[in-house]
Structure 1
């Protein structure tokens, strides 16, 4: 993994970082609705709606530097590239975890994601991240529910890996939309960055 160390002496959010590191419950989740009409329109041409959402999420994460930052003790690092780790259902009713490096070109990302996800679905290993990596974002799709809010199981206040969840596509007038949730650690990410993330995801969905 390639990363650079953030200089806390010049980082504008250093004071916020120190404040929220002391919280026992430093995570928060924000849910917003996103327009997926373009995905619906392209499904007939063979577009995978699931992998299109993965790509848009990856684009959103890489558009916001703070979502690529992780802390290690009192040090903060910023990764150059974040891999997307998503749950993959298996035929027997269980699931495994896939790890898909983000690629800014959609066609290349789509082919890579399809290959890696298929391999996990056919395998037997759960392959959870046990702490050896922090260059990740955790993703989970809830296609059965059009939900209004959600939060995730978290191991403790030191976990600073973002979580993204998205729900069922629902018709809204002449278009389609869905709920998406971003859960983050407040020591690294404020509301302004969450807003920038959702704007970048929506832009990627429109441009697919």
Structure 2
């Protein structure tokens, strides 16, 4: 893990950080609709919509510095890069977790993701993070459901790893969209950063 220590004396959000660190329920989830019309057009070229979404989420996370920040007690660190950890259905009928480092080049990312996810699907090992790493973002796809809101199971108020969920692709009058949710810890992330994340994900989806 490569990271820098955030100086709480000069960090503009230090007061908000200290405030929300005292909350018992400091997490909040925001759901919006993402336009995936361009992505569905690119599907005809052989692009995997699932791995394309993984890539766009990674691009969004790395566009917003606060989404790569984690606190450790009363200190805050800023990671240079976070690894995407997603749930993967296994051949045995359960699920495991894959760990895919983000790569800015889409072709390299897609090849890497396909290999790592395929290995977990065949292996059937859970590989859950037991707390030894915080340079992660947790991802989960719900392709069976066009949902309107969702939140995640969280171990407690000290968990500050962002969660991203996305749902079923839905066609309406020639336009395709899907629900996407970002769940964050308010000690690190405000609404402005959430908005910037969704804008960056949309831009990445449109540029594939």
TM-score band (shorter)? over 0.9
**Moved beyond 4 Å, runs of 4+:** none
Query: 2:181 maps to what in 1?
Result: 181
In structure 2, how many angstroms separate the alpha carbons of the residues matched to 1:139 and 1:113?
A: 13
In structure 1, how many angstroms separate the alpha carbons of the residues matched to 2:119 and 2:93?
A: 16
SS at match of 1:93: coil
In structure 2, how many angstroms separate the alpha carbons of the residues matched to 1:100 and 1:172?
A: 32
TM-superposed CA distance for 1:47, in Å, is: 0.5
Structure 2 residue 66 is matched with structure 1 residue 42: no
Mapping of residues 69-88 of structure 1, within 5 Å: 69-88=69-88
TM-score, L = length of structure 2 = 0.99
Structure 2 residue runs of 5 or longer lacking an equivalent are none
Mapping of residues 115-194 of structure 1, within 5 Å: 115-194=115-194
Mapping of residues 16-95 of structure 1, within 5 Å: 16-95=16-95
In structure 2, how many angstroms separate the alpha carbons of the residues matched to 1:144 and 1:18?
A: 39
Contact 2:92 2:124 in 1 (8 A): no
Query: 1:97 maps to what in 2?
Result: 97
In structure 2, how many angstroms separate the alpha carbons of the residues matched to 1:16 and 1:156?
A: 19
Query: 1:110 maps to what in 2?
Result: 110
TM-score, L = length of structure 1 = 0.99
In structure 1, how many angstroms separate the alpha carbons of the residues matched to 2:28 and 2:42?
A: 34
Q: Between Structure 1 and Structure 2, how many residues are aligned?
A: 208
